[in-house]
Structures are given as C-alpha cells and as structure tokens.
Amino acid sequence: MRDPYEVLGVDRSATQDEIKSAFRRLAAQHHPDRNPGDDGAHQRFKDLNAAYQVLSDPQKRAAFDRFGPAGVGMGATPGGPGGPFGGMPFVDVSDINIDGIFGDLLGALGIKTGDRGSLQKEIKISFEEAAFGCTKEITYERVEPCLDCGGIGAAKGSATERCTACAGRGRVRLQQGVLPIAIERPCARCRGTGRIVLDPCKTCRGAGLVAKSRTIEVTIPPGIENGASRIVERAGNCTRADRAPGDLELTIRVSPHEVFRRVGDDVVCSMPVSFPVAALGGEIEIPTLDGNGRLRIPAGTQPGAVLRVKGKGIVRRVMGGRGDQLVEIIVEVPTRLSSSQKELITRLAEELGEEVKEPQEATFMDKLKNLFG
C-alpha cells in the first residue's frame, strides 16, 4: 500500500477538510471516465480511494500513523471472500454526476448525467387572461430521439455490437480500494445502452438525440395567480431514446394592469370623485373586467371609503362564482376657484359652523400656537 498522505499530496498534520478537498480535486482529475485511453487512470483512482478511506477515518488514520499499512489490515481485499466485508451487496450509485465519453454530445443538448429530462419555461399572460382563463400557444426547444437513426445513434444500414466493457449489461461494477462495497454505475463506454455504435449517425453524431422546436397549446384555468405552475406531462426532454421524456413545468407570469390590482379573488381600483358628488351623492362611471359600469356614490362619502361591486372580481377556482370589485374613493378638491365659487364655499363653511381664514392669515406660527396652546 502506498503512503496515503503521499497519494493525496497532503501533510501528516492536514485537517479533515484539507483531506476531503484534496481527494475531490484529484478524484475528478484522475477518474477513468475523464481519461479515456489512459490505462493507468483506473489504478490511480483506486489508490486515491484507498488513501481517502484511511485518512478520512480517525481510527484508521491513527492506526496507519502508528503501525503503517499493517495497522489498517491491508492483507485481504475488504469486499472479497477473505476480507472483513465479504458478501456485501453491490450498491447502485448511478446518480453520481460524472461525465462519460458522450458527455460532450449530451452536454451540447443541455442534458447532464442523472438528468430526468424535466424542462422549465415561463409563460406570460395578461391580467384579464388570468382572471377568466385562456388557451396559449407556446413554442420551445426540447431534445427528442433522432428520426434519421431511430434513436440508436448508428447510421442507416450500419449495425451495432455488444459493448465488451459491460458485456451488454449497460452497467459496470467497480471495486475501488478499501471500500466495503462494490460500486455499480452506468457503463461510460456505451452510455448505459449495452451497445456500441460502429458508424455514428451524421445527424445526431451518435448521440441518438437531437434538439427540435415544438409548438403546443396550453390551457390556463380561470383565476390562476402570478407565479403558479402548470405541468405538461411528457413534454420535456428525452434523455435516452428508450426512455419516456420528462415533464414540462410552466411558470405563469401575470402582467400588471394599468387600473386593477388583485387581492385574493377581488380586484381593487381607485376612482376620483368630485366634492359635490361625494357630499350630495350620485352616480359615476367605472371600469370593470367586463367593461364599463355604473357605481352609486352615497351622500357623505368620505375620502378613502371603499365601495363594493358584487361579482365583478376574479373567477374563483375552488368555490365557484366570482370575487368582488373594490372601488377606493378619492375625493378631488378643486384647486382653481372663481370669486363666486369661493363665496359659495365660505357661506357653506359658515352654515356648517366652521371659521374660514384666508391662507395668508393662518401663518405657520399660528398653527404651532394652536397645536401647543
């Protein structure tokens, strides 16, 4: 057994974080899948695993520091018949994110190792479309099996042969260093298919997959909210020609409205009302999601009052029916008054028992005296 400190390139005083960091860096550098054609990569990777298994375990590390290789029991293969872990089952670690020899081809299509083919897209709709529902047509790109080769990656008329690396199983087992179990993972040579392409298809370059544009219709239910998701099953990417495609997840983005804003299933808007109408009452024209409508203003309506219009809101998704429209009243105060208008307002104030002063008479100091006096 080689000195594990030398294998990982760390000092004997190295911390566990330094050991882990060194192992990850070197394992990624010397993994067999990243060094095709390098016969020594497999042995280097095994040595790295063996060194890390010793130094990452405080007891094994202490035993090695004191007794050398004999202290960690290197006389038998741990997973073999004579080792302490004989008979342990194989473990599938196929989700480990290590690129194989086809990683460059699939990576160009946006597919990574362990990818299930799910796609995520955003779809924009208007405020009214969110309120009442709609049908939208979206166009996007997804990965599909190559039609020219039927998804096998081989050119027309050419054959494939059984992969010798995995004996056609599509998976390989690897006993790495002193690991108590053997690791099973997809075969990097055949990409888990068990077959080797002799003459690659020119369209897909042997990947069996190509990126294509697709157009689908999506039904948006009424009352949907901004940020909600819709799942379109089997509308995502194909990661392999012999597997079903993943799903397409659509995130709904509702555009803001110029007049309305949403509060639950209600819509809210603000409407200006003149002082006479607010004081004496009357009717005003208001916008609604269904078009223009009329709203009765009760006499004596105060600024900031909220009036409710039943059934003019958002379609309720659960209970049925629709929410309401809430109209916030903004009383407009006239800024330019004629002499006769000022006289009328002054007379009104006197009738109400209010004293009206000219603006220049009510100085800032007068207001302070009234406030603290």
pLDDT mean over 258-278: 94
Residue listed under structure tokens 């995520």:
120
Express each pLDDT in 281-323 by its tens digit.
999 999 999 999 999 999 999 999 999 999 999 999 878 899 9
Which CATH number goes with the domain that contains 68? Answer: 1.10.287.110
Which tokens sit at 218? 């999506």
The Cα 28–Cα 113 span in angstroms is: 15
Residue 78 has a pLDDT of 38
Same domain (yes/no): 30, 50:
yes
Same-domain check for residues 242 and 266: no
Tokens describing residue 133: 């529902």
Q: What is the pLDDT of residues 38-75, one digit of tens each?
A: 878 888 888 888 888 889 888 888 888 877 776 665 54
CA 103 from chain center: how many Å?
23
The answer to whether residue 96 is domain-embedded is no
Q: Is residue 87 part of a domain?
A: no
pLDDT at 174: 67
Q: Which amino acid is at 346?
A: T
222, 254, 286: which is the final residue of a domain? Answer: 254
181: in domain: yes
- The sign of the CA dihedral 234, 237, 238, 239 is negative
Residue 88 within any structural domain of the chain:
no
My answer on whether 284 and 358 are in the same domain is no
Shared-domain flag, residues 373 and 296: no
Both 164 and 224 in a single domain? yes
Residues 312 and 363 in one domain: no
CA 71/CA 57 separation, integer angstroms: 13
Residue 196 CB contacts under 8 Å (≥ 6 apart), including other chains: 160, 161, 162, 163, 164, 189, 190
Q: Which of 78, 46, 87 is nearest to 60 (CA)?
A: 78
95 occurs within a structural domain: no
Total number of domains in the chain: 4
| DSSP secondary structure, 268-301, as one string | EEEEEEEHHHHHH-EEEEEEETTEEEEEEE-TTP
Residues 124 and 206 reside in one and the same domain: yes
Same domain, 136 and 249: yes
Residue 237 lies in a domain: yes
Contacts of 82 (CB under 8 A, 6+ apart): 76
**Domain end among 227, 254, 281:** 254
115/241 same-domain check: yes
Average of per-residue pLDDT values in the chain: 81
Q: What is the per-residue pLDDT for 80?
A: 41
pLDDT of residue 365: 55
Asked whether residue 80 is domain-assigned, the answer is no
Convert the pLDDT of each residue in 102-159 to its tens digit.
Answer: 444 455 555 554 567 789 999 999 999 999 999 999 999 999 999 998 888 888 888 7
Domain that holds residue 27: 4-75
Mean pLDDT of 314-341: 90
Q: Assess if residue 357 is contained within a domain.
A: yes
Single out the residue in 254, 272, 288 at which a domain terminates: 254
Q: Are residues 151 and 222 in the same domain?
A: yes
Q: Please report, for the domain that includes residue 288, its CATH number.
A: 2.60.260.20
CA gap 6, 1 in Å, rounded:
11
The reply to whether 354 and 321 lie within a common domain is no
pLDDT confidence bin for 186, thresholds 50/70/90: confident
Residues 242 and 358 in one domain: no
